[in-house]
């Protein structure tokens, strides 16, 4: 398999809400008078603000529409959609948890063939999504994918205006935020000299507490940022990382036309440029090649690089053939560098916009037939860690997560420093923490290649996959593709859940087990062991059969839970055809499956599923018993139970099933 095929941006779309507010207006809106020259320090004069009639999902929808309008592809041509915004503030005072944003966009645009899930990795979200899609394109799992982010984040500004006490307040960074959305379509480059030439991301989890966004005492969300320390480590790690990637790609320091960094403040951009110049012992970075897009935009989080690209394509600063150095930095701390060479995209975008060609008929696309579900390299489950129910005393989800991950590592042949990718796939977390990625907090707790002083030959990338209880199987699929694409050798998938209403609204609970789990995946020396194919299917007509959302108000934080009375029947009706399709692709008869690992919702659900599949109850692993839904930890708990009770042996074939809001079903074949 040729894994040196460049990925290119085929189309890019953006959207900015129409309302604009000046920095002076933001400061004047603060309850306490702030004596600080915020505009001079940050370089931000104005920023766009949504929140009147448009929210996160509306922004994302508009950027997707713009991207599709400028693409030669239609919605049915997209194989994978990843939504990456930090905020899921989707209506006035409403933050969505289930179903996720990507499945809502899948239905709205008619992405009939797309696998969908959300990820979270703070301001590195879009680049993390691109990194994942790049792996899928490299392995041939997909032909093209789409990454979208709708960042309505100025609700943090509005909360901060009520709370900030002085210019030394850790909430001050909330006043620099702007709202925006961006979307890109990616595919294999037709010319090897264009597209992403090098692309690398890593996480230094020790610094993850330097920026935390969570619920506020005022009922909204707020962000606390240690700007001095975060900037210091971000500048040092980012400059060193960029140097290493440039050298690996054999790009001379003078060979690029544009350096685009994360747009936080002018003082940070200037500090980063000086650090790069210091390391190179030459004034390579200067105002002529360093993009500063802050004046009219502010910090637009995960969309910042892409808003800057489109702005500077429009003003003719970025042109076809230009070489770009993307310097990626996000709370967590996630650092990265991407080297990119434009094809004719800048010319095409300017031409389309000059012709106002929204109604212009697209050129038909000649589709290349390909295996819709190719077999990637098999990856095995090397070790599993869970928490026995009787040992759970504290219900802090990060503490639970650390216990499960430590248990998993204690059973593994790998050291903590050998984990290349760490993915958190839980949904509900203590304090409703939205930033940074929960996986980065765990990486810091475990000291998993967590400091910038860690050896260069060992690194970890940490991020979250956010997709109901199907997220765990999504994460296994992503890990398989990343191992196959040689982005890593090992991956750890973790999950933890908590009942956010337990202390304040005990009458309205989700009904899930407050626990945590972890497993480690690697490429087994025997090529016939481990996961083979994955399959994900969707019943979008039942999109609202299960919804949860956080209501932000003046009272205590409150999670609304709405479940259709026939939810479990809907789940089973969706599982049956998905299982049949996967077995047909795999060339297996259902009676050849030795053990089935169903969603651990309840014993009653498992019995009804066995009847639907017309299989003996004994083939199904049931670890939930009389307990509550194991939700995102269903698979690890079922696997551990099967091994402890010797329910599986070498040579057995397992069928793993997950189901969640959307409604969506995930299935996978596993060879023991």
Q: What are the tokens at 358? A: 């929204």
Smallest Cα–Cα separation from 257: which of 288, 278, 235, 282?
Answer: 288
Specify which residues 341 forms β-bridges with: 195, 323
Q: Where are the alpha helices (DSSP H) in 596-660?
A: 603-613, 634-644
Residue 33, class by beta-carbon neighbours within 10 Å (0-12 exposed, 13-18 middle, 19+ buried)? Answer: exposed
pLDDT at residue 292 in the model: 96
Q: What are the tokens at 371? A: 């295996």
pLDDT at residue 10 in the model: 97
pLDDT along the chain (672 residues), means of 10: 76 97 95 90 96 94 97 97 95 92 97 97 97 96 97 94 90 96 96 94 96 85 92 92 91 91 93 90 90 96 97 96 96 96 96 69 49 70 89 78 96 96 96 94 97 84 97 97 94 95 86 95 84 96 94 76 95 96 94 96 96 94 93 97 95 97 96 94
Domains, the chain, ordered by start: 7-355 (3.40.47.10), 379-671 (3.40.47.10)
CA 438 to each of CA 175, 203, 370, 401, 494: distance values in angstroms, whole numbers, following the listed order: 24, 12, 36, 10, 10
On whether the CB atoms of residues 442 and 494 are closer than 8 A, the answer is: yes
Q: Which residues contact 345 (CB under 8 A, 6 or more apart)?
A: 9, 10, 11, 12, 313, 320
Written as one string, the DSSP assignment of 164-179 is --STT-TTGGGGGB--
What are the φ/ψ torsions at residue 325 (nearest 5 degrees)?
Answer: -110, 110
> Residue 473 and residue 601: Cα distance in Å, rounded?
16
pLDDT at residue 150 in the model: 98
Question: 653-660 and 595-597: which strand pairing?
Answer: parallel
Q: Which residues contact 147 (CB under 8 A, 6 or more apart)?
A: 81, 82, 83, 84, 126, 129, 130, 133, 183, 184, 186
Cα–Cα–Cα angle for 428, 149, 285, nearest 5°?
120
- The 3-state DSSP class for residue 286 equals coil
Q: Where are the alpha helices (DSSP H) in 124-226?
A: 125-139, 154-163
On whether the CB atoms of residues 20 and 44 are closer than 8 A, the answer is: no
> Residue 601 and residue 548: Cα distance in Å, rounded?
17
Residue 398, class by beta-carbon neighbours within 10 Å (0-12 exposed, 13-18 middle, 19+ buried)? Answer: buried
> Residue 284 and residue 392: Cα distance in Å, rounded?
55
> Residue 572 and residue 648: Cα distance in Å, rounded?
24
Beta strands in 342-410 (DSSP E): 379-386
List the end-to-end C-alpha distance of the chain, in Å, as a whole number: 25
Angle between helices 304-314 and 345-355 (to 10 degrees): 70
């Amino acid at each position: 398999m040729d894994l040196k095929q460049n990925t290119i941006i085929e189309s890019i779309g953006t959207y900015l809400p129409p309302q604009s507010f000046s920095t002076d207006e933001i400061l004047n809106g603060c309850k306490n008078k702030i004596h600080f020259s915020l505009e001079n320090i940050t370089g931000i004069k104005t920023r766009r603000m949504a929140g009147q009639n448009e929210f996160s999902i509306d922004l994302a929808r508009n950027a997707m529409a713009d991207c599709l309008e400028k693409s030669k592809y239609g919605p049915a041509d997209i194989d994978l959609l990843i939504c990456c915004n930090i905020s899921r503030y989707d209506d006035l005072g409403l933050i969505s948890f289930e179903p996720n944003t990507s499945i809502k966009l899948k239905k709205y645009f008619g992405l009939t063939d797309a696998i969908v899930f959300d990820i979270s990795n703070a301001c590195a979200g879009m680049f993390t999504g691109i990194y994942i899609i790049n792996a899928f394109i490299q392995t041939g799992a997909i032909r093209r994918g789409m990454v979208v982010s709708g960042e309505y984040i100025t609700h943090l500004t509005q909360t901060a205006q009520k709370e900030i006490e002085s210019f030394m307040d850790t909430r001050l960074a909330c006043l620099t935020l702007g709202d925006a959305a961006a979307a890109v379509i990616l595919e294999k480059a037709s010319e090897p000299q264009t597209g992403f030439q090098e692309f690398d991301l890593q996480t230094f989890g020790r610094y993850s507490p330097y920026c935390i966004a969570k619920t506020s005492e005022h009922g909204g969300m707020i962000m606390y940022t240690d700007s001095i320390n975060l900037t210091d480590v971000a500048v040092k790690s980012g400059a060193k990382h960029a140097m290493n990637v440039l050298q690996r790609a054999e790009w001379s320091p003078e060979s690029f036309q544009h350096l685009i960094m994360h747009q936080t403040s002018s003082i940070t951009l200037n500090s980063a440029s000086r650090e790069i110049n210091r390391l190179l012992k030459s004034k390579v970075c200067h105002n002529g090649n360093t993009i500063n897009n802050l004046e009219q935009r502010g910090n637009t989080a995960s969309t910042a690089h892409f808003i800057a690209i489109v702005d500077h394509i429009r003003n003719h600063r970025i042109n076809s053939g230009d070489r770009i150095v993307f310097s990626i930095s996000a709370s967590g701390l996630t650092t990265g560098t991407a080297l990119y060479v434009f094809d004719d995209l800048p010319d095409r975008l300017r031409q389309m916009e000059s012709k106002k060609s929204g109604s212009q008929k697209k050129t038909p696309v000649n589709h290349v037939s390909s295996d819709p579900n190719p077999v990637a390299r098999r990856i095995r489950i090397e070790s599993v860690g869970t928490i026995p129910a009787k040992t759970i005393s504290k219900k802090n989800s990060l503490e639970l997560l650390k216990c499960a991950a430590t248990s998993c590592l204690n059973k593994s042949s790998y050291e903590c420093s050998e984990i290349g990718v760490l993915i958190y796939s839980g949904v509900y977390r203590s304090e409703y923490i939205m930033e940074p990625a929960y996986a980065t907090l765990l990486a810091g707790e475990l000291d998993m290649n967590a400091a910038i002083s860690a050896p260069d030959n060992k690194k970890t990338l940490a991020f979250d996959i956010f997709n109901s209880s199907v997220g765990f199987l999504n994460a296994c699929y992503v890990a398989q593709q990343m191992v196959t694409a040689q982005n890593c050798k090992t991956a750890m998938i973790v999950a933890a859940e908590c009942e956010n209403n337990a202390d304040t609204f005990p009458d309205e609970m989700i009904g899930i087990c407050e626990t945590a789990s972890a497993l480690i995946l690697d490429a087994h020396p025997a090529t016939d062991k481990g996961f083979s194919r994955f399959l994900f299917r969707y019943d979008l007509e039942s999109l609202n059969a299960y919804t949860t959302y956080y209501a932000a108000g003046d009272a205590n934080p409150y999670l609304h839970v709405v479940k259709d009375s026939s939810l479990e029947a809907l789940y089973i009706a969706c599982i049956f055809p998905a299982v049949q399709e996967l077995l047909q692709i795999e060339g297996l008869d259902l009676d050849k499956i030795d053990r089935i690992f169903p969603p651990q919702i309840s014993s009653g659900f498992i019995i009804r599923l066995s009847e639907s599949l017309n299989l003996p109850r004994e083939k199904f692993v049931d670890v939930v018993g009389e307990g509550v839904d194991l939700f995102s930890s269903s698979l690890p708990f079922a696997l551990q139970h099967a091994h402890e009770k010797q329910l599986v042996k070498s040579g057995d074939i397992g069928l793993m099933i997950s189901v969640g809001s959307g409604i969506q079903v995930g299935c996978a074949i596993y060879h023991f």
